[in-house]
Amino acid sequence: MRILVTGGSGMVGHYLQKLSVKYPQHEWIFISSDHDLTQFDAVERCFIQYHPDYVIHLAANVGGLYKHLNEKVRMFRSNILMNIHVVDACHRFGVQKAIFCLSTCIFPEHPPSFPMTEDMIMMGPPHPSNDNYAYSKRMLYQHCMNYNQQYGRQYICLAPVNLFGKYDNFNLQDSHVIPGIIHKIYLAKYNKTPLILPGSGQAIRQFLYAGDYAKIIARTLFEYQDVKMMICTSPVEISINQLVNKLKNATDGSIEIQYDTTQSDGIIKKTASNTYFTTVFPDFVYSDFDTKIKSVTRWFYDSLPNGLVRI
């Protein structure tokens, strides 16, 4: 079978490329930003060229809290267009099964209870700090469900919590939590200044290693026969302050930490349940969180002289 992966040069795409060698019976095709998925003509040409049997849609316009706050129009429009075009092309070109990536930011700001479960996705508006990205992902979910119900497709949506790993975006302006803090720790050490972080450090977050998520995607594609959306999380849930201390200790731990409480924490808590996931894949083994954040930190420091990270 021929598997087309969009966003193939991103963090999860890198891990999926490494994992693909374990599935040599399939032909894997990884595309990146050289294909403008916001233009349907470009998407159509891509599908005509590769004729995929399966599609894994990783491509997205993503970023951290302040990118979401400052680029609302772009975040909504680009993601809506990419998602609609790829889903529509999957159907038009006869792709029966495909994997689409959501995010747990799509869940309500005030869910009925914690942890949040798959059926709560539409039970209220998302947090305003990233609502436009969240709504674009909700529309992706709805678009997939429509095709599943009307045409019997298997367009499966996975909703991961905060992902981290090597090959991430470490740019201070639009990175996610872990790469942004790793970069700031590096600068504080280099400049011999305190580490100043936005918010209070009290926000609670869940994290999932991107290599584990790549394995989940592959297993979902080859083993999962349902179409129900699935939350993908690990047992790790810690405060930002706890996370900062772990990342600081991954180097030599000799910097001062200060919090700028005039800036937003974003949503304080958004705990998601992995109950359904563990029912589907009861044998899944997660990577050790502390080991992986140390390896990602080492990779960042080792990559700097080689220009491998975008900072």
Q: What's the rounded Cα separation, in Å, for the pair 133 and 112?
A: 22
3-class DSSP state for residue 306? helix
Helix ranges, the chain (H):
11-20, 40-50, 65-70, 72-92, 131-151, 177-191, 210-223, 240-249, 275-280, 289-303
Copy the structure tokens of residue 12: 């999860």
Q: Which amino acid is at 214?
A: A
Q: Which of 133, 141, 167, 259 is an active site residue?
A: 133
Distant-in-sequence, close-in-space partners of 126: CB < 8 Å, separation ≥ 6: 105, 106, 107, 108, 109, 134, 135, 138
8 A C-beta contact, residue 31 and residue 56: no
Residues 6+ apart with CB under 8 A from 249: none
Give the residue among 164, 166, 162, 168 at the shortest CA–CA distance from 311. 168
> Residues of 235-266 as b/e, b for ≥16 C-beta within 10 angstroms?
ebbebbbebbebbbebbeeebeeebeeeeebb
State yes or no: cis peptide before 125, omega within 30 of 0.
no
133 catalytic? Reply is: yes
Active-site residues, by number, are 133
